[in-house]
């Protein structure tokens, strides 16, 4: 089991939140708080999930909340580098279309 952690980097209204480990009930609140802090009105937030090894329904809920919060503050929220097992969970839950998903954080920031 890999412990949840994250790093935030900012550059001119663009923020990358790089997430590592498991996103589950134990880490969901910390993820929620970090996503909400990172969302800047009118800015862009990229959640780089390349290091995520597991996600459960609470993790999905936190990401959906971030999509909604971004819409409230007129910000862009994108997911980058979603590992296949995590993407599969999105598909099984029927929520893939909710997110804007790109291959890499660099690609997201260049849009």
DSSP labels for 52-101?
A: EEEE-HHHHHHHHHHHHHHHHTT-EEEEES--HHHHHHHHHHT-GGGSEE
What is the chain's mean pLDDT, rounded?
93
pLDDT at 1: 67
Work out the angle between the directed axes of helices 84-93 and 57-72 (0-180°, nearest 10).
80
With bands split at pLDDT 50, 70 and 90, how would you rate the model's confidence at 11? confident
Q: What is the pLDDT of residues 28-37, one digit of tens each?
A: 999 999 999 9
Domain limits of the chain?
5-110
pLDDT at 111 over 70: no
For the domain made up of 5-110, give the CATH fold.
Answer: Transcription Regulator spoIIAA (3.30.750)
pLDDT at 86: 96
What pTM was estimated for this model as a whole?
0.92
Q: What is the pLDDT of residues 13-22, one digit of tens each?
A: 789 999 999 9
pLDDT at 34: 95
pLDDT at 12 over 80: no
Over residues 33-48, the mean pLDDT reads 93
């Amino acid at each position: 089991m890999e412990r949840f952690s994250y790093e935030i980097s900012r550059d001119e209204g663009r923020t990358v939140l790089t997430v590592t480990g498991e996103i589950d009930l134990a880490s969901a609140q910390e993820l929620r708080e970090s996503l909400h802090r990172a969302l800047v009105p009118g800015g862009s937030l990229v959640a780089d999930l390349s290091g995520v090894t597991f996600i459960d329904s609470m993790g999905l809920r936190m990401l959906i909340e971030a999509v909604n919060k971004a819409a409230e503050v007129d910000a862009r929220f994108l997911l980058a580098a979603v590992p296949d097992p995590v993407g599969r969970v999105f598909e099984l839950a029927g929520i893939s279309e909710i997110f804007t998903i790109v291959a890499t954080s660099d690609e997201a920031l260049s849009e």
